[in-house]
Amino acid sequence: MPELPEVETTRRKIEPLLLGRTILEVQHDAPHKYRDTHLAAGRRVTGLSRRGKYLMLHLAAAEAAHDQGADSPHDLEFIVHLGMTGGFRLEGGKHTRVTLRTDAGDLYFDDPRRFGKMAVVRPGEYAGMPTLAAMGPEPLSDDFREDFAALAAQAGAVKPWLLSQKPVSGVGNIYADESLWLAGLHPTQTRLTRDEAGRLYHAVRDVMGRAVEAGGSSLGKGEGNYRQHDGLSGLFQHAHNVYGKGGEPCPRCGTPIEKSVVAQRGTHHCPQCQPLRRETV
DNA sequence: CATCAATCCTGATCGC
DNA sequence: TGCGATCAGGATTGAT
């Protein structure tokens, strides 16, 4: 399930395949999921960026001057969300949903469960994408500061709060569980103290930083799992401490990891290391 | 406004 | 071994 580290890895991997290329055509059969992607035809990719779990191809007129190095101005953004199972491939297959035809070859978007979405918009016009419009700071940027403690002090259950993308961007189910374990916080803890918020801040940065370095997490053997465009796996799944490890001993204290459901998501935590602090009213 | 549940999807896995 | 039921979950929408 692509979260920030997987999307960032995807960005880095497909950048050399798309940068400077002209998109000739975008083929698909689901206009509702891939809105206005026909507008990309005839435009050149001048850069690839990422915001949270969203990938953006910067598009400019094909005849615009070819700047070297820095990203040149663009007048359209081709936004891609990988959903649960989306990913780019060098060859088409059974689950190819979108084909990007370029002047330097084709790139295929595979998405078995069809949760992925695309849209072409004017830069920054995210009215139709409320989560992107209200996106919190990048966890690995200087915009993410410990002053998020002020927000955390007012927050409801901490895991759903993280998953909302508002306090910080790019955290999904896997990295929420891993960050909360590292911070020693119960998934349903509310109204974090300053100390708790500080621990969570550092845990999110640590987990996300290491996961990006590892190329993200690749889980399971099935087709629907995250892979890089060349079929390579990320490595961070080997560093998971709690996700997918219900019943196994906590790496820190040996207590069996508990599996539960929080906010309709499979949730893993150590009852010993991550106790729920009762509100003292 | 905040919280919660339903919805979209289909391959993998589980239970009998 | 087969087959139906269940699980997985990010973002959005609708309900409370």
At residue A119, the 3 state secondary structure works out as strand
Looking at the structure, do residues A256 and A170 belong to the same domain, yes or no?
yes
The verdict on A127 and A152 lying in the same domain is: no
Q: How far is the CA of A101 from the C1' of B4 (A)?
A: 42
- Residue A70 is predicted with a pLDDT of 56
What would the pLDDT profile of A128-168 be if each residue is shown by its tens digit?
Answer: 899 999 999 999 999 999 779 999 999 999 999 999 999 99
CATH number (domain holding residue A252): 1.10.8.50
Q: Is the pLDDT of residue A127 over 60?
A: yes
Residue A281 belongs to some domain of the structure:
no
Q: Provide the pLDDT confidence category of residue A61 given band limits of 50, 70 and 90.
A: confident
CATH code assigned at A73: 3.20.190.10
- pLDDT per residue over A5-49, tens digit each? 999 999 999 999 999 999 999 999 899 999 999 999 999 999 999
Token duo for residue A162: 């993280």
Sorted by sequence, the CB contacts under 8 Å of residue A16 that are 6+ apart come out as none
pLDDT digits (tens, 9 = 90+) for A186-220: 999 999 999 999 999 999 999 999 999 998 888 76
Domain interval for residue A262: 148-269
Mean pLDDT of A59-85: 80
User: pLDDT grade, residue A69 (50/70/90)?
Assistant: low
Residue A27 included in any domain: yes
CB neighbours of A156 closer than 8 A, spacing ≥ 6? A190
* pLDDT value, residue A278: 80
Closest-CA residue to A54 (of A115, A20, A4, A90): A4
Residues A127 and A74 in one domain: yes
Same domain assignment for residues A18 and A124: yes
Residue A124 lies in a domain: yes
pLDDT above 70 (res A76): yes
How many distinct structural domains can be found in chain A?
2
A12 labeled part of a ligand binding site: no
**Is A122 labelled as part of a ligand binding site?**
no
A119 and A162 housed in the same domain: no
- Considering the domain architecture, whether residues A83 and A194 belong to the same structural domain is answered as no
pLDDT tens figures, A223-244:
445 666 676 778 888 889 999 9
Query: Are both A100 and A16 inside the same structural domain?
Result: yes
In the numeric block, which tokens belong to residue A130? 């409320």
Scanning every strand, the nucleotide with its C1' closest to A172's CA turns out to be: C10
d(CA A265, C1' C3) / Å? 27
Return d(Cα A5, Cα A94) in angstroms, integer: 26
Bases of strand B lying below 7 A from some protein CB: 2-13
> Same domain, yes or no, for A180 and A211?
yes
